[in-house]
Amino acid sequence: MKNFLKIFFLISIFLLGGCSIKSADNVLEKLEKKLKNANSYYLEGTMEIMNHEDTYTYSVKVSYQKQDYYRIELVNTLNNHEQVILRNDDGVYVVTPSLNKSFKFQSDWPYDNSQIYLLEALINDIESDSDYKFVYEDDKFIFKTKVDYPNNKMLNHQKIVFDNDMDLEKVLVFDSNDVVRMELVIKDIEYSPTFKNNYFDLNNLIKTFDEVEVVESSKIDDSIFPLFVPSGTKLQNSEIIETDVGERLIMTFDGDKPFLLVGETADVMDEFTIIPTYGEPYMLIDTLGVVTDNSLSWNSNGIDYYLVSDVMGKDELVEIARSISSIPALK
């Protein structure tokens, strides 16, 4: 009888311990502690963005250091178009080496909304969702939460997968129809790495781009046209004019939700140039852009785009922009 009670006691401790380890609150607490105790982190992965029938693949490298230093390197694997989001004491930068320029923001980025490749943003999504779901299966800790992408209302919820060591393994972001729209797969992750001096300095970053080939000037193609146009709105006028560096297409749409779309040959700077900018960095399907309350600007395949409307919200502007990016823009 004593042996039976002893075995029962040991089994009970084991089961209770196992449940504790795998309980949502316990796992979340350990994830928070792991991140809090890290002075920095570095991760590499592959990100896919799905748009209609197309999939855009990015190589992603994220470097973070307390307090509030970020360096996110994104490379479009289709055309090797590279951009870097940099945050330091001077502000937030979106650096485009092929154009020899950077946009500078005074911004709260990346806080207050979801970010698929930032650990603290993912944990914040879990903490902020009182209805999150948690399961432990196949030696994985899996959280299902709502997302907050204020400029893309199509994105609805996500699945965040951690391995048995509580390292991030995968993130899937879904629309309201449960269709995957973004996916991040982690290849490598390291906590508290030591970065080189001035690693988050803009001038130091620029030096690493000395060998980057700048984009060639391109001509505007007649196929630049949004696949999505709001109901009750149609093209009123379209004209192409010559510029110092190429061409500029100006398209005016009129109706219930009027807007202006401009596409022009990108102006590649002779020397690296910093352009102060109002707005926030925004990830489109094949590039990083700049979004404000009533406008969106971005560069894709050597073409600078500018989209503006006095009556449409950010999510509608993004939907128009995403439909343009899926069309070949050069000839």
134 close to 123: Cβ distance less than 8 angstroms: no
Confirm whether 47 is domain-assigned.
yes
Q: Do β-strands 259-265 and 303-308 pair in parallel, antiparallel, or remain unpaired? A: antiparallel
Confirm whether 6 is domain-assigned.
no
Verify that 188 and 55 share a domain, yes or no: yes
pLDDT for position 23: 85
pLDDT digits (tens, 9 = 90+) for 73-120: 999 998 888 999 999 999 999 999 988 999 999 888 998 789 999 999
- Which residues, other chains included, contact 48 with Cβ-Cβ below 8 Å and sequence gap of 6+? 55, 56, 57, 58, 182, 183, 184
pLDDT digits (tens, 9 = 90+) for 16-36: 444 445 688 999 999 999 999
- Domain span including residue 97: 22-207
| Residues, the chain | 331
pLDDT for position 175: 95
Confirm whether 9 is domain-assigned.
no
Verify that 153 and 65 share a domain, yes or no: yes
Residues (pLDDT < 70) of the chain are 1-22, 210-219, 221-223, 325-331
Verify that 237 and 128 share a domain, yes or no: no
Verify that 144 and 243 share a domain, yes or no: no
pTM over 0.75: yes
| Spatial distance between the Cα atoms of 267 and 247, rounded to a whole number of angstroms | 11
pLDDT for position 330: 34
CATH number of the domain to which 122 belongs: 2.50.20.10
Domain end, chosen from 162, 189, 207, is at 207
Tokens of 121: 């943003």
